[in-house]
Amino acid sequence: MLRGKALASLRTGVTAFNGLDDEGRTTVVLLSLQHSFEMLLKAILEVKKVGGVFDKRTQKSISLYKAINLCVQVDGVRLSEEEAGVIRNLDAMRDSEQHWHLVVDEGLLYHNARAAVTLFEDLLHRVFGQRLSDHIPARVLPIGAEPPMSLDLLVDREFERIAKLLKPGRRASAEARARVRALLATEALADPDAAEVREDDVRRVTKGIRAGKTRDQVFPKLTGYSSDIQGSGASVEVRIVKHGGMPVTYTSDPDADTSAFRLVDLEKKFYMGAYDLADRAGVTRNRATALRRHLGLDGNDDHYSHLFELGSQRQMRYPDNALRAMKTSLKDVDIESVWIAHRTIPKNQHIAQPPCSEPGCAVHE
């Protein structure tokens, strides 16, 4: 059922892309393609029997963001960073278009549509052993008015267009901001935290462009991202590729150059407490504490953990990075040996803590 809904939404998105009516075209394309992936990923999770697609706490269907995170971890799916980014990008653009307004360059919209179709077929074949041509004729797939361009060239072209719109006397700030939203949404390719476009981010970027900042300075997360384009006509395949790139940096410095910084909802990123992390990793809570110490996950480094402070209350929270690190480590270590080496020994017990000999120990490196 869910796979059928995914295919129906994909057909709707492709039909709208190739249609004659420009009114509402971008909205329908983005809404439909985003929905197609939400249904496809949930169909995959049901087939793989990964805890179902309903949240036990809320009793509601899980979000697309949650489905992406699960499919990154599931054997037989294993979404890559670039594949997850394609879906996040669609979702971020859809959100901005559905709830406010953005202007997507036609070349960028075509690139995203072809990347979506390529990934949809890859997942359909990877999990279900089917080809997209079994359901949709190749002749009706997205057709562009110009040859497909690589992502980095499209971003450069759009950045130059925005810079011209923001020049003094142009009176085109509204269109410029709408185009900035599209590029900010594109940063979701590189960083899950960029999947939500905020107006503060739009204002900072436009201010930076007006001040003469370069594309790499204003959109650093897109540095190193390009496209692998194969084929021509109706058989074009587009896959996102990453060559290096700039690291994500978190800062609370009020004097930092903010034109290149995005606001991040830390509560959304660091959403797991210690008990929840242990349960998701599949280990007892005391063993999970020992494993966190073994891996050095409690360093409050904003990569594996973040310490939230509210008055006298302090709580360490963890993101998906910590969960992935623990699950990977559990394949290589003897958890009982880790627990013996890193457990908490009561003060009234004079027992020497043995050194840890398990791989990946951050304490006894």
Residue 230 has pLDDT above 60, yes or no: yes
Instruction: State pLDDT tens for residues 292-310.
Output: 999 999 988 888 998 888 7
Position 224 scores a pLDDT of 86
What is the domain partition of the chain in residue ranges? 2-260, 267-342
User: Phi and psi of 285, rounded to 5°?
Assistant: -65, -35
Instruction: State pLDDT tens for residues 118-160.
Output: 999 999 999 999 998 888 887 767 776 677 789 999 999 999 9
Q: How confident is residue 55, by pLDDT bands cut at 50, 70 and 90?
A: confident
**CA separation for the pair 311, 326 (Å, rounded):** 30
Q: Which of 195-204, 260-269, 282-291, 334-343 has the lowest mean pLDDT?
A: 260-269
The residue-averaged pLDDT of 269-281 equals 88
Architecture of domain 267-342: Orthogonal Bundle (1.10)
Position 351 scores a pLDDT of 78
Q: How confident is residue 264, by pLDDT bands cut at 50, 70 and 90?
A: low
Distance set, CA 258 to CA 97, 159, 207 (Å): 25, 18, 10
pTM equals 0.71
The residue-averaged pLDDT of 271-290 equals 91
> DSSP strand E in the chain: where?
225-230, 237-242, 306-310, 313-317
CB within 8 Å of 160: residues ≥ 6 apart = none
Mean pLDDT, all residues of the chain: 86
Instruction: State pLDDT tens for residues 160-190.
Output: 999 999 999 888 899 999 999 999 999 988 8
